[in-house]
Structure 1
């Protein structure tokens, strides 16, 4: 299966000692290299850190039902793009396994999960939510940019159950442009509200005039938020 492949990735290394990691997932049809280039073009200065490695994996090409089965670099399949559609859990779960191996590689490099953040743009944000809420709740945070979950997502149920038993959950940062499709913006806002209701600390930011894209203020907000969650480690005395 495609998910069993070792995922290609683009990596931005820290300028100093590596003590934290971000895994940043691209949107449907993009690549890790493409997202990295987009972030570099938008962010001034670049989204790079002295102590944080930023990893941009690439989804393997798979048949994508909304494109009539054409191959596309998507993290999972969808029956259709609708909040009322059931999730394609077979492909979601398989990719959670593949991305879990990316997380484990960071652990082997000496970075514990509580020093990691998982996030993504559009479909990548939805994939990040599944990873963090269902499989890796120990991470420091999760971000979702122009992203959304289906109405009855199993991610909501996972958060609710973990909150019920007193388990820890990562903090969520969610952003969306107001000039994106109005349905998608509302869908994103509802996602944040439902996760918060389920028990997850969740913050939603709207960016006026922003379409389904990244912008400098959004990336600057992300940078500041990341540094609150993954500050540099204090040197040994």
Structure 2
């Protein structure tokens, strides 16, 4: 089997002892460094913690069908940006394997799986949901900002029948998002609930396809609730 491809990452180290990790995936066409800069611009005093390492990987460039095959830093390919389009499972599953190496690295560094959160913005949130629901259901939680999963996604299938406990989902979406419609995000939340996932869906009035200060403050509070500083 070919070796798993290593991703370029940038990371914000904790100011104290490292006891937990957050993996934050960018949207299509962005980079880990770009998302890191965006977060720092939106959120004061930054998404940084005493005990948590925040990791921003960069997706490798690949031909992207919605851009007529032009290369872009995307986590997986799509036939169309639509919930009705079939998923491109080959590219999704390949990237799940690649991103899994980051989780493995954190575990080998002494971080328990339940002290790792996975999430992302837009396509990054969809990627995080596949990774957490299908491959790493024992992580501490998953978050998705301005994201959706396609109807009929394999992430919705047979979770209860397989006896799997799924991580809690924290989801945010702007009501004015015209690229990834608010309804797509709501539908994803409802379908994940039916699959046995505990979900919390937060709507932000007037927010477009972007991060906001209020959204990021809510996310920071959720992260601290899931990964409290007094945990071992």
TM-score (norm 1): 0.94
In structure 1, the residue matched to 2:76 is: 76
Q: Give deviations 1:25-75, integer Å, cap 9, x for gaps.
A: 000000000000000000111000000000000000000000000000000
Contact persistence 1:145–1:174 (CA under 8 A): yes
Taking the TM superposition and a 5 Å limit, the aligned residue runs for 1:30-45 are: 30-45=30-45
Query: Could you tell me how far apart the structure 1 residues matched to 2:12 and 2:231 are?
Result: 22
- CA shift, 1:169, in A, is 1.3
Question: Greater shift after overlay, 201-210 or 166-175?
Answer: 166-175
C-alpha distance in 1 between matches for 2:161 and 2:218: 31
Shift of the 4–63 alpha-carbon distance from structure 1 to 2, 3 Å rule, reads farther
- Report how far residue 165 of structure 1 moved: 4.4
Match of 1:27 in 2: 27
| 2:16 maps to 1:16 | yes
| Count of matched residue pairs | 231
Deviates more, 1:122-131 or 1:101-110: 101-110
- 2:175 pairs with 1:178: yes
CA RMSD of aligned residues (A): 1.5
**Aligned counterpart for 1:187 among listed residues 169, 184, 189:** 184
The question of whether the paired residues in 1 share the 8 Å contact of 2:122 and 2:146 is answered with yes
Q: Which has the higher helix share?
A: 1
CA distance in 2, matches of 1:28, 1:38: 14
Shift of 1:233: 3.4
Match of 1:218 in 2: 215
Deviations 1:173-193 (A, max 9, x none): 110001111861100110001
Counterparts of residues 42-191 of structure 1 (less than 5 Å) = 42-157=42-157, 161-181=158-178, 184-191=181-188
Task: Give unpaired runs (5+ residues) of structure 2.
Answer: none
Unaligned runs of 5+ in 1: none
Structure 1 residues 234 and 103: CA distance shift in structure 2, 3 A: closer
Partner of 1:227: 224
CA distance in 1: counterparts of 2:231 and 2:153, whole angstroms: 39
Contact 1:19 1:233 in 2 (8 A): no
Q: TM-score, normalization: structure 2?
A: 0.96
Secondary structure at the counterpart of residue 79 of structure 2: coil
The one-character-per-residue Cα deviations of 1:67-104 (angstroms, maximum 9, x if unpaired) are: 00000000000011111111000000000000000110
Q: Secondary structure at the match of 1:163?
A: coil
Q: CA deviation at 1:5?
A: 2.5
Q: Deviations over 1:124-166 (max 9, x none)?
A: 0000000000000000100000000000100001xxx333344
Change (3 A) 1:4 1:183: closer
By how many angstroms is 1:197 displaced?
1.5
Question: 1:199-218 maps to which residues of 2 (within 5 A)?
Answer: 199-218=196-215
Whether 1:198 and 2:195 are equivalent positions in the alignment is yes
Distance between the aligned counterparts of 1:141 and 1:36, measured in 2?
Answer: 20
Contact 1:13 1:54 (C-alpha < 8 Å) held by counterparts: yes
How far apart in 2 are the matches of 1:215 and 1:81?
A: 23
